C-alpha cells in the first residue's frame, strides 16, 4: 500500500483527532484499495452498505431514486470521506447510491471495524463523535439554506462560497438537483443572472 495514500487518509482523520502511530495502526491492516470506472457504482440503494472510504482520485456523486428519477444531492472530491453514512451507522439498507463521476480511486475500510475501534480506543470514539458533529453542522447549514433562501440565492452562494469545485467539475444538471430544482430551471436562472 502506497505510503502517500496512507498519509492522505491519516491527515484527513487527524483533522479531527491527532493519533499516535499505535492508534493509527489499529486501522491500517483493514484498509483496501478500490478502483471505480466512470459511472460505476460503489454503494447501491437497498443494500446494507458498511463501507467507508476516502477519495484518492476522482469525483463522485450520491443520489436518491424517486419515481425512477435520480436526484443527486451530494458530491465528493479528492480527500473527502465518503460513505452511505446512515446505512453504515444504523446497519439499515442504504437509501442512496454513490457512483463515480470520473474514474476514481478510493482507500476503504468497513464501518463495522471502526465500531470495534470505538470500543477499544477513546481516541477513535472521539473521532467518531467529531465526524458526526462535523456532518451535522454541514447538514444543518445546507438545510437552513434550503428553507430560507430561494433557488437563485442558493446558486449564487454556490458561486461565491468555497464550493467552486462543484461548479467547475460537476455537470450542471446534477447541480440543479443539488439546489432542489430542475436542470431547465437552473438554465433559466443563469440566463436571468447574465441579463443583469
Partner DNA sequence: TCTTTTTATTATCTTTTGTTAACGTTTGTA
Partner DNA sequence: TACAAACGTTAACAAAAGATAATAAAAAGA
Binding stretches for its own copies (CB under 8 A): 64, 66, 71, 73, 85-86, 89-90, 95-96, 118, 122, 125-126, 128-129, 132-133, 135-137, 139-140, 142-144, 146-149, 177-178, 180
Q: Could you tell me what percentage of the chain is helix, strand and coil, using 3-state DSSP and rounding each to the nearest 5?
A: 50, 20, 30
Find the shortest distance in angstroms from Cβ 90 to its own copies: 7
When asked if residue 182 is in the footprint of DNA (CB under 7 A), the reply is yes
For cell 467518531, the residue is 128
Pick one of DNA, its own copies, none as the site partner of residue 172 (Cβ within 5 to 8 A by kind). DNA
- How many residues in the chain? 196
When asked if residue 164 is in the footprint of DNA (CB under 7 A), the reply is no
Task: Kindly list the distances between the CA atom of residue 91 and the CA atoms of 10, 66, 82, in Å, as whole numbers in the listed order.
Answer: 25, 22, 16
Which residue of 151, 156, 158, 163 would you call a contact of DNA, by CB under 7 A? 151
Pick one of its own copies, DNA, none as the site partner of residue 135 (Cβ within 5 to 8 A by kind). its own copies
**Binding region for DNA (CB under 7 A) out of 16-24, 70-78, 138-146, 172-180:** 172-180
CA distance 41 to 145: 29
Of 37 and 143, which CB lies nearer to its own copies in the complex structure? 143
Find the shortest distance in angstroms from Cβ 159 to its own copies: 19
Which residue of 11, 25, 32, 39 would you call a contact of DNA, by CB under 7 A? 39
Of 8 and 181, which CB lies nearer to DNA in the complex structure? 181
Residue 60 exposure: Cα atoms within 13 Å on the Cβ side? 30
Residue 64 contacts residue 71 (beta carbons within 8 Å): yes
**Reduced 3-state DSSP string for 49-113:** CCEEEEEEECCEEEEEEECCEEEEEEEECCCCEEECHHHHHHCCCCCCEEEECCCEEEEEEEHHH
Residue 3 exposure: Cα atoms within 13 Å on the Cβ side? 0
Of 59 and 94, which CB lies nearer to DNA in the complex structure? 59
- Per CB under 7 A, residues contacting DNA are 38-39, 102, 150-152, 171-173, 180-192
Amino acid at each position: 500500500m502506497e505510503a502517500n495514500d496512507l498519509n492522505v487518509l491519516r491527515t484527513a482523520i487527524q483533522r479531527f483527532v491527532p493519533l499516535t502511530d499505535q492508534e493509527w495502526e489499529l486501522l491500517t491492516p483493514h484498509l483496501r484499495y478500490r478502483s471505480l470506472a466512470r459511472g460505476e457504482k460503489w454503494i447501491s440503494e437497498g443494500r446494507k452498505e458498511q463501507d467507508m472510504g476516502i477519495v484518492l482520485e476522482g469525483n463522485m456523486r450520491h443520489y436518491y431514486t424517486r419515481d425512477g428519477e435520480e436526484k443527486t444531492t451530494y458530491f465528493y472530491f479528492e480527500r473527502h470521506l465518503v460513505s452511505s453514512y446512515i446505512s453504515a451507522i444504523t446497519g439499515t439498507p442504504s437509501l442512496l447510491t454513490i457512483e463515480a463521476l470520473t474514474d476514481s480511486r478510493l482507500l476503504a475500510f468497513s464501518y463495522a471495524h471502526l465500531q470495534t475501534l470505538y470500543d477499544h480506543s477513546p481516541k477513535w470514539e472521539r473521532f467518531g463523535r467529531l465526524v458526526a458533529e462535523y456532518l451535522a453542522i454541514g447538514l444543518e447549514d445546507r438545510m437552513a439554506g434550503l428553507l430560507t433562501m430561494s433557488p437563485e440565492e442558493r446558486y449564487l452562494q454556490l458561486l461565491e462560497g468555497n464550493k467552486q469545485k462543484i461548479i467547475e467539475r460537476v455537470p450542471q444538471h446534477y447541480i440543479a438537483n443539488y439546489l432542489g430544482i430542475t436542470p431547465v430551471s437552473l438554465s433559466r436562472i443563469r440566463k436571468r443572472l447574465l441579463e443583469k
